[in-house]
Amino acid sequence: MSLLISALAVAVVGCGGGSSSSSSSSSSSTSSTASAAETGSGSSGETETTADSSSSEGTGAIKAVWQKPHGEENKVGYELLKASETRYLAKSLASAFELPDTLTIKGVNGFGGGPFYNPEDNSITLPYEFTTVVLGVVAQSDPEESQYEWGEAVGAVDSFILAHEFAHALIHNFELPVLGREEDAADGVATALLLLASEGSVYAADAAEFWLNFSGRQDPPQLAEYADNHSFDRQRADNILCWIGGAEEELLVAFVENEVLPESRAVSCPGEWELLRRSVEQVMEPHLEHALNLQPGIGAEAEREEAEEEKKSAAER
């Protein structure tokens, strides 16, 4: 089933790939993500831990702090994260919802327990080695694809994971009600947010394909995994596919015809998506202060704008 899910989403959406920057207007950002998959390291990886020079404090603000990567696996993950649009997606989300406190994005060495949100300091931690694992899963699942296409897929998965962790931030900052497991709710919110983008179903499909291919680690599940606060990887993949299929009838039909989703589940997907969409809107809209811009290319554009602002600020000083 490798590549089939993403290919179906691309065919229905009519776009060219599952990158977090896949439009022609943002080709430089997409190229840098794919290039990171090819090179694995670069001069920017030699900087020590520093807060982002353009960071700010207060309502709706965001800052990024990146540890100096140590070892090849950390360097690869660092380059992939920096080349993707995770920081800019977080900035767009934090600004639109105006979180009451500064949200910090932390890039750290190692794998740990994977990416996570910490309500104690309102931070999202992105371990470099987890992103390297994502690249390994993508490459192993689709060995015939180019390194450039691997980089695009990793960028899409990174975008979903960032949106998932940001959903946790929304839940805790605004004390939102959660009925059921918070991790399942965060997957739902992440999918709903990404589907606001013009190619959002492709991003979400890439994330679903990653969880599907990653699910081999749970075959068979260990006893502790039954007690985990996350659903099994395969369940997460099927939930995401059901939501995006429920949002796009043509895509849902393609999933059933290609046996990506069983018909017994697919028949309930339009209703599941409508319930999710309505719930997210009712809970989130009171906190949405500004227009939410998740269109591809926002990262490349934001990078240019911040570079100009930094030059202007340095000149004034």
For each of the chain's 317 residues, which pLDDT tens digit applies? 555 565 555 445 443 333 332 223 333 333 444 445 544 433 333 344 543 434 556 666 888 899 999 999 999 999 999 887 777 788 888 888 888 889 999 999 999 989 999 999 999 999 999 999 999 999 988 888 888 888 888 998 999 999 999 999 999 999 999 989 999 999 999 999 999 887 788 889 999 999 888 766 667 877 777 777 777 888 999 999 999 999 999 999 999 999 999 999 999 999 999 999 999 999 999 998 887 766 544 444 445 555 555 555 556 55
Strand extents, DSSP E, 177-306: none
Residue 206 counted as domain residue = yes
Residue 306 counted as domain residue = yes
Residue 148 counted as domain residue = yes
Indicate the angle between helix axes 147-173 and 200-214, nearest 10 degrees: 100
Enter the pTM of the model. Answer: 0.77
Whether the ω angle into residue 220 lies within 30 degrees of 0, i.e. cis, is yes
- The order of strands in the sheet holding 62-66 is 50-51, 62-66, 103-108, 123-127, 116-118
- Contact (Cβ atoms closer than 8 angstroms) between residue 172 and residue 121: no
Residue 317 counted as domain residue = no
Residue 316 counted as domain residue = no
State how many domains the chain has: 1
d(CA 141, CA 13): 23
Residue 130 counted as domain residue = yes
Give the structural domain span for 66: 4-310
Residue 113 per-residue DSSP state: T
- SS3 of residue 66 by DSSP: strand
Residue 315 counted as domain residue = no
How do beta strands 116-118 and 123-127 pair? Answer: antiparallel
CA 206 to chain centre: 10
Residue reference for tokens 């959660």? 178
d(CA 178, CA 279): 11
